[in-house]
Structure 1
Amino acid sequence: MTPPALSVHLHQALSGFTLDVDFDAPAGLTVLFGASGSGKTSVIDAVAGLGRAATGRVALGDRVLMDSAQGLYLPPHKRRLGYIFQDARLFPHMSVERNLDYARRITRAPSDRPAFDRVVEMLGIGPLLARRPSRLSGGEKQRVAIGRALLARPRLILADEPLAALDDARKAEILPYFERLRDESDVPILYVTHAATEVARLATTVVALDAGRVIRQGTAAEVLGDPSFTPGGDRAMGAVIEAVVKTHHDDGLTELDAGGVPLLLPHIDQSPGDRLRLRIAAQDVILSKTRPEGMSALNILPGTIADIHYGNGPRAVVSLDSPAGRVLARLTKRSVHALDLRAGVKVFAVVKSVAVAPGDVGGPAR
């Protein structure tokens, strides 16, 4: 059995609740997901070694970073971690190039220009090297911060809500770079967010927290597709499916193949044959017991109802299995009863092409 890249067992009394988490994370990008105040940042700070309030054990591969039973607490600078914060925290008096080289200089590590050039190319920051942070956009600053964390030669990268301070356009700019980091670097990543879009796009593994406890762990599809679990609220609920780019049409739509079912979305800047991962929010799915005709929606997925989850109030969430994978639809209980929906009933899921936001489409973890 392959040992986990990161093993975390922590206990800490916090204001309002007790942090009590226990999880193992494989290689790749592990997302700590949950609402604000669920304990995500407390976990990442304990892994970083910022304080000794937490007890327990944290190991990175076979290297123990903390073991309170043995009185072992490696200081942050000996843990070999790269930390990416919400704000880039670049040194304003240094150029981008000197900011990137900062970690090497303070550790007196030898220069490694090929590694430096690889990171600069991966993040597309070559044209920025001579600039100072005051002349960078928010997205550019965050790319430089990612590069600086990588060039510290870390054994683990910690990212605490790294997109929270950016607008939607800058988030869309940065997400592909985190995908490249996940796929092209062999350094595991522990990434904190409360945004379902980031979970769907980036996660290899999701560890969901609520009031300081792990309440769900699995793939993005498993966690976001669980109708009984909504740490991001109803709007976070939805399917995460994989598809292949089939062709680009002259009218500006891209056709995908999702398990043999065609999906049409606004133009996606990927080549035919490329694999994608996309999120379809439950609130954007309509169900019909007969195949719809004479309507504007272009995407129709046949499926069979797997189960129906009834929440508080008028809401119900229908889970159906389709050739594209598990799909969720958020309906009213009245609609469920009016259509006589139940497990085993065949239905058609209708999704508007424009309902899938560009930020909800990304590459699958390799």
Structure 2
Amino acid sequence: MFQGNLQLKLGNFELDSGEFAFDSLGVTVLFGRSGSGKSTLLRAMSGLDKQSRGHLKFNDEVWQSGKKALPVEQRDIGFVFQTAALLPNKNVQGNLDYAIKRIPKHRQHGPSTIEIIERVGIRHLLNRPVDNLSGGERQRVAIARALLTRPRLLMMDEPLSALDWRAKSELLLLIESVIADYQIPTLYITHAPVEVERLANRVVFMADGRITSVESLAEATSRIDSPLFTEEGPVSVLHGQLGEIDPDGLIAFESRQQPEADPAFTFLLNRAEHCSPHTPGAKARLRVLARDVAIARHRPEGLSMLNQIPARIERIEADPQTHRQVIFLTLNDGQTLIAELSRRSVNLLNLSAGQLVFALVKTAALLDQ
């Protein structure tokens, strides 16, 4: 658990977070536009900037109290920045050795050095000068270096922003799996909604140097004015598990409230669009744009659209930006799926809260691939 209220002035920018409290388990994403104060808050929480003021507790440990602060090296934080910040005069092995020498005596337990090197996929890079690494390789080394310090907490400041799309995809999968495997609480900065939807357990929204709200991912994607919707409109993130690939090459994405129960819903996904290896039964997230969801009052016949999901209309709201109607649907397991229709379509179908309908989903994207 983090609890605090922090202030920090850097040049013309001033952070004044306001009182905050949020769980530290899993992934907490700091989200906001450029200049909103995300990196400044991270610096204040980490102790990297000695000008920080206010108060901060991590679980029962006081990290900041007025001008008095716990030194950053005693906070046991692993850092990964936008630029990998590797030591240029050392090769990859030298950068890792530098981190290993600084492991606190009380943090010697944990995965072995070889395990971390293999897990992050940098064994073949150990003798390579850091100047000869690609952007993605440099970030892999930075992640390994952070893990080798046996941190209680990871802090990642836009680690993917300088990478091309392929490296981003590979590193996002690595970050996601490493956090899950090692169960390290993580503070993660991004301004990319898809990274939030992929990783977050909760979102700390920021604007003008202040924390405006702290919400679970479900809460953040269940309100029409969510800052996550500014790029592509309303988005649903559904949690489920992967099923088998059928003879037609379709992947099942299912929600099961109990392992042996019938799925509450099943989406069929084109394998060609989700060709990465997957394990049946593995947990996954599905991303669905509201504009890709249609609604039918009755199950349609003679339609090629395979994903026809039973749902109940929870509420209908008008989007003040587009003047379209946003329909919040509750699926059989309680999760929310959002559709976006014109006012005319809502009126023609005579839609209202409480009605049982079918959501017709044109396309969806697996976030865990």
Contact 1:101–1:151 (CA under 8 A) maintained in structure 2: no
Structure 2 counterpart of 1:24? 22
CA separation of 1:331 and 1:27: change in aligned 2, threshold 3 A: same
Q: How many Å separate the matches in 1 of 2:54 and 2:13?
A: 20
Note the C-alpha offset of 1:18.
5.5
> CA separation in 1, counterparts of 2:4 and 2:306?
45
- Write out aligned runs for 1:1-366 (5 A): 4=1, 6-12=2-8, 15=12, 19-21=16-18, 22-68=20-66, 71-105=67-101, 115-235=112-232, 237-258=234-255, 259-267=263-271, 268=274, 269-312=277-320, 313-323=322-332, 325-352=335-362, 355-358=363-366, 360-361=367-368
| Contact 2:193-2:228 within 8 A present in 1 as well | no
Quote the offset at 1:106 in angstroms.
5.2
Q: Equivalents in 2 of 1:20, 1:113: separation in Å?
A: 34
Please state how far the C-alpha of 1:235 moved relative to its aligned partner.
1.7
Q: CA deviation at 1:67?
A: 1.2
Kept after mapping to 2: 8 A contact 1:86/1:160: yes
Q: What amino acid is the match of 1:98?
A: G
* Cα displacement (A) at 1:160: 0.7
> AA paired with 1:300?
Q
Q: How many residue pairs were aligned?
A: 353
Distance 1:47 1:273, change over 3 A: same
What CA distance in whole angstroms lies between the structure 2 residues aligned with 1:291 and 1:356? 20
Q: Which amino acid aligns with 1:63?
A: E
Indicate the SS of the match to 2:196: helix
Deviation at 1:171, TM superposition (A): 1.6
Q: Kindly state the Cα deviation for residue 231 of structure 1 after the two structures are TM-superposed.
A: 4.2
- The question of whether the paired residues in 2 share the 8 Å contact of 1:216 and 1:223 is answered with no
Give the share of equivalent positions with the same residue, in percent: 37
Structure 2: segments with no counterpart, 5+ residues: 256-262
Distance in 1 between residues matched to 2:104 and 2:78, nearest whole Å: 16
Q: Is the 8 A contact 2:241 2:280 kept in 1?
A: yes
Helix, strand or coil: the match of 1:361? coil
Distance 1:111-1:327 versus aligned 2 partners, 3 A rule: closer
CA–CA distance in structure 2, aligned partners of residues 125 and 311 of structure 1: 47
Question: In the TM superposition, what is the alpha-carbon distance from 1:190 to its structure 2 partner?
Answer: 0.6
Seen in structure 2, the aligned counterparts of structure 1 residues 183 and 113 have a Cα distance that, compared at 3 Å, is: closer
Distance 1:236 1:145 in 2: 34
Amino acid across the alignment from 1:272: P
Structure 1 runs not aligned, ≥5 long: none
Alignment RMSD: 2.7
**1:326 CA drift (Å):** 0.7
